[in-house]
Amino acid sequence: MKGLVTLFVIILIYSSSQAQKADWQVIVLGMAQDAGYPQAGCKKSCCEAYWTGENPKQHATCLALLNNQSKEAWLFEATPDIKAQWHALDTLGYQVAGIFLTHAHIGHYAGLIHLGREVMGTNNIPVYVMPKMKNFLEANGPWSQLVSLNNIALKELKNEEAIMLNGMAKVTPILVPHRDEYSETVGYHIAGPNQTILFIPDINKWETWNKNLASEISQVNYALLDAAFFADGELPGRDMSKIPHPFTTETMELLKGLPTKEKSKVHFIHFNHTNPALFDSPERNQVLKKGFNVVNEGMVIDL
């Protein structure tokens, strides 16, 4: 039952929201790192708090772009938690019209397996990918079977070239540096008629990007940014320089000079199970006191 709590919250929050919904919205269907929360094999207090009933399950990071006129939804990421995330959309009355992938790490594409003949056996679900990601899926099983059996239809994207959805929403991939063992990595600009989101769930340190983070934030209304780890030393016994994500503390330090309005655009996402800011804690309070925000499952953004 505990594993379903956040799913019910998503449905309750969205179903009871404003009677007149915006034509386009984004809903957060997950905020945890690839493996979700709790994580397999973790015997630390962070995950024990789930098994003892103290903390609820958190699904792997996923967004859904919703069109409230056509009742279509586009997933951003095909996570290992896709069953619950797809079911949430079904329950809310939306049909999945496509999936946008960021890269080939397990929390971001492994859920595609549920589209195959052993599970849903879908018919040509559009899956939007960059060139290397496309080649990876076409050349490696079991993913290649999804292509050959027409369970999915790969749609190749180009860096910083937008595609239009239903003539009103615009999605633009943006290359970011990351551990690109199998594919390149992108974030996305997601733009509706009135507002824009920057979604970067995975990136190496900000200084390795060829763009200025503050400048990118200034061009959007919301920035959902990688917060895998809170600070150095979070994984005792491991060299965290070999897991190159920006620490939450580093991002806040980098952006500390921004005006309050600009800071408030930042919503941290993609929390590792060890990141104490995943739940109510002094660390999360520190984020909020500094003027930044944390996403929650069920959070809805009007576009």
If you average pLDDT over residues 6-22, what whole number do you get?
A: 67
In sequence order, what are the beta bridge partners of 190? Answer: 171, 197
Neighbours of 232 (CB within 10 A): 11
Residue 4 has pLDDT above 60, yes or no: no
Which is higher by pLDDT, 20 or 172? Answer: 172
- Position 288 scores a pLDDT of 97
The answer to whether position 29 is within a domain reads yes
DSSP conformational letter for 78: -
Q: Say if 230 falls within a structural domain.
A: yes
Convert the pLDDT of each residue in 54-80 to its tens digit: 889 999 999 999 999 999 999 999 999
Assess if residue 123 is contained within a domain: yes
More confident of the two residues 17 and 200:
200
C-beta of residue 192 within 8 angstroms of C-beta of residue 239: no
Which alpha helices (H) appear in the chain, and where do they start and end? 5-15, 45-51, 82-92, 106-109, 131-139, 143-148, 213-218, 248-254, 260-263, 282-289
Q: What is residue 116's predicted lDDT score, i.e. its pLDDT?
A: 97
What average pLDDT does the segment 285-293 reach? 97
What is the domain extent for residue 86?
A: 23-295
pLDDT (mean) for 202-225: 97
In a domain, 178, yes or no: yes
Domain annotation covers residue 46: yes
pLDDT tens sequence across 134-147: 999 999 999 999 99
| 41-75 burial: b if 16+ Cβ within 10 Å, else e | ebeeebbebbeeeebbbbbbbbbbbbbeeeebbbb
- Dihedral sign for Cα 5, 7, 13, 15, please: negative
Q: What is the pLDDT of residues 251-284, one digit of tens each?
A: 999 999 999 999 999 999 999 999 999 999 999 9
Q: Give the mean pLDDT of the chain.
A: 92
Q: Please give the tally of structural domains in the chain.
A: 1
As a whole number, mean pLDDT of residues 77-100 equals 96
pLDDT given for residue 1 in this prediction = 42
pLDDT the model gives residue 258:
98
- Tokens linked to 47: 């995950």
Q: What is the CATH number of the domain that holds 255?
A: 3.60.15.10
List, for residues 157-195, the tens digit of each pLDDT value. Answer: 999 999 999 989 999 999 999 988 999 999 999 999 999
- Please give the pLDDT value at position 2: 47
E-assigned strand segments in 50-168:
62-67, 72-76, 95-100, 125-129, 152-156, 163-165
30 within some domain: yes
Say if residue 238's pLDDT is above 80: no
Residue 246 domain flag: yes
In a domain, 301, yes or no: no
pLDDT tier for residue 244 given thresholds of 50, 70 and 90: confident
Would you state the torsion angle of the CA atoms of residues 147, 159, 64, 73, taken in this order, to the nearest 10 degrees?
Answer: -60
